Structure 1
């Protein structure tokens, strides 16, 4: 996939919380010149109010109708939409210890800095300690997401699937891609 004309134009990045989906989406956007659409911007309103699922599906479908895009995740209730139009699925199948350490480090930073995540939302100590904590979601979804990615790697749901089990494998693949002009993510 080094020839520019053969590079994917519609990429879904999939993995557990803390795997680095958004970081990879930003890097791929920079290297490939493709627009990155952060999924959280489409699925969460201010005050951490979840967008109703029919609206989420409409928003994701609108993105997926475009000629090119990068999505940094997929929820099970609308995963069928990007899978139907993606050229490439990148699975970040990293070890639980690595992803949990990354998630804890990121969450601690976000809580301490008050950095906005999406649509004015911020992580707080209260949100981290709640029953809706992203850390609890990590534990609840890790096995399911891992099985799903590994299943796709064996029997693709349509698009090509690249499964990376270590950051070093991912970095080696990224090194094969030549950067193009920088693209800024929507904010």
Structure 2
């Protein structure tokens, strides 16, 4: 197995993208660039899409990188350069439970995320809640991953349907 050096980890909110990206970075010695840190400034101020795209383009010009997501306005950028897309195509219930558990933990602990931001009860109950994003985006993201997997002109896509499938793949992956 050739060890990939430009990896896009993709999936719905709560599927474990960041956890996997961090694991791969440690195991392969490839730099991980957390996408949320590139998209959000303090006080949940979203970076303008043009600036997001510039940041992602700069990363994707490098020879080695891991990204834990790809969003509108620049999704095409990592897809052109990726050696591998790892698509976490987990069942809705599993990813939603994981997301809910993570969100509740962050509410209780006040854990800082992306540039000092924190989830609050207000943000979790809002129309822009990560929980709402999961519910409304799940089907769209799943169709996107499956379309990438079926497209012979794009990068190779490892479509994983369970954490067990991921663990089996990781067990075969060489480490540095």
When the two structures are superposed, what TM-score results if normalisation uses the length of structure 1?
0.92
Query: For 1:24 and 1:56, how far apart are their aligned partners in 2?
Result: 22
Aligned 8 A contact 1:83 1:157 in 2: no
Query: For 2:6 and 2:127, how far apart are their aligned partners in 1?
Result: 34
Runs of 4+ in 1 over 2 A off after TM superposition: none
- Give the number of equivalent residue pairs: 176
Point out where structure 1 has 5 or more consecutive residues left out of the alignment. Answer: 181-187
Aligned to 1:73: 69
Aligned to 1:184: none
More off after superposition, 138-147 vs 150-159: 150-159
Aligned to 1:160: 156
Query: What are the Cα deviations for residues 89-137 of structure 1, in whole angstroms up to 9, with x where unaligned?
Result: 0100000000000000000001111111110101111110111100000
Query: For 1:48 and 1:157, how far apart are their aligned partners in 2?
Result: 36
Aligned to 2:31: 35
When the two structures are superposed, what TM-score results if normalisation uses the length of structure 2?
0.98
Give 1:179 shift: 2.9
Aligned to 1:46: 42
Aligned to 2:56: 60
Give 1:178 shift: 3.0
Aligned to 1:183: none
Query: For 2:50 and 2:36, how far apart are their aligned partners in 1?
Result: 15
Aligned to 1:15: 11
Give 1:157 shift: 5.0
Within 5 Å, give how 1:138-157 maps onto structure 2: 138-156=134-152
Aligned 8 A contact 1:10 1:68 in 2: yes
Query: For 1:162 and 1:38, how far apart are their aligned partners in 2?
Result: 20
